[in-house]
Amino acid sequence: MNQIKLLLVVTLIFSTIPIAQAQSTLPWIEEYTITNYSTGQTTLEWSSDTGEILQNAPVLAGDEYQITFTLNVRQTVDNAVLTLTLTSFMNQQSESTYWEVGPEFPRTADYNPAQRTISLHHNQGVYEVTATGKISSDATTYTGEGLTLHRPLEITLIELDGPVGTDYDDITVTVIDNKIDDYRFLLDQKQAELQQYENTGVDPAYIQLYENFVALSEEQAEQGLVDNAMDLLNNLEVDTTPVETGPSWMERYFLPAVGGLALIAILGVFLFIRTNSKLGFVKMVVEDQIREMEALQSRASRIDRNLASRLDEINSRLKETENA
């Protein structure tokens, strides 16, 4: 008799394991779509079937979005409650409520769609949920004592928690701001222009210098100095690209760009050097620019002595600023 009871207990235990494991290994949020509230454009879509994000546009700080997702609760747990939370990065703007759910949604008695957190009973079913909110405008920027950085940021917009506060699932996206978006657009233009130069026989020396400016711009953007990065790219504008090496095109086209770089570097360093709390970061940026300038100087010395001399002057001024 005892053996029969033991067998029944073991059978019961093992019969419940696959169900629990299935929910823990499979996603709770099976798919979601993020739509720009103002334009109605689908910004991005994700499905657990492929695990890939289909992105039509960047998710921008300061814009309002509707997030529609499918929540799959694969088993019923008596007296258990799940919670959905819209994080503090999302704020009300056009709608008076955050949440919209269907009549089949197993809402709890304290359900209030105007609150960031809503609860539902742990009942088996597939539910469609929509949340609306504006992403904080300053989510991707840091401003302090004259220093402004723009950096992409991974932001969790929605969290799903279990009965004891366990993290079950979430919706996390990469957010940028308009400044980063403008820089990326400009960078794409310059990279396409560079590719065209490489395919049409433009002077290799000019192409190499162009590549250095683009690379330096990308490094500045990675550090968050997007304004500097855009200024570097804008200094690459020329009326006519050179076909042969020689002092004429260097004097006409590259020297103005170098002058722009010098102005950006000197003014940027002067601005940053006042920020004592950021001194270590500033020195790192200046040192990087010095190294880049020395590399440009080395290449330019093989093309035009006047250009090399001009670069040497700029490099010396950067070193003076670094030691100030």
Cα 2 to the center of its chain, rounded Å: 62
Separation CA 166–CA 318 (nearest Å)? 53
Q: Give the residue-averaged pLDDT of 125-144.
A: 94
Check pLDDT > 50 for residue 204. Answer: yes
Residues 42-71 have pLDDT tens digits of 999 999 999 999 999 999 999 999 999 999
> What DSSP assignment string belongs to 54-92?
EESS-EETT-EEEEEEEEEE-S--TT-EEEEEE-TTEE-
Q: What's the pLDDT score for residue 315?
A: 59
Structure confidence at residue 20 as a pLDDT band (50, 70, 90): very low
Q: What's the pLDDT score for residue 212?
A: 87
| Coil, strand or helix at 123 | coil
Q: What's the pLDDT score for residue 244?
A: 54
CA distances from 108 to 79, 97, 102, 122, 203 (A): 11, 17, 13, 10, 71
Max avg pLDDT among 5-9, 57-61, 218-222: 57-61
Q: What's the pLDDT score for residue 22?
A: 42
User: SS3 sequence, 207-270?
Assistant: HHHHHHHHHHHHHHHHCCCHHHHHHHHHCCCCCCCCCCCCHHHHHHHHHHHHHHHHHHHHHHHH
Separation CA 245–CA 295 (nearest Å)? 18
Contact 131, 161 (CB under 8 A): no
Check pLDDT > 70 for residue 201. Answer: yes
Please state, rounded to an integer, the average pLDDT across all residues of the chain. 80
Residues 228-277 have pLDDT tens digits of 889 888 887 766 777 754 554 555 555 555 555 555 555 455 444 444 44
Max avg pLDDT among 25-39, 214-228, 277-291: 25-39
Q: Give the residue-averaged pLDDT of 182-192.
A: 96
* Helix 279-300, helix 255-273: angle, nearest 10: 160
25 vs 94, residue with greater confidence: 94
Separation CA 58–CA 44 (nearest Å)? 8
Domain parsing of the chain, residue ranges: 2-176, 180-322
CB contact set of 77 (below 8 Å; sequence gap of 6+): 122, 163
Check pLDDT > 50 for residue 9. Answer: no
Structure confidence at residue 216 as a pLDDT band (50, 70, 90): confident
Check pLDDT > 70 for residue 300. Answer: no
Structure confidence at residue 27 as a pLDDT band (50, 70, 90): very high
Report whether CATH 2.70.50 matches the domain 2-176: yes
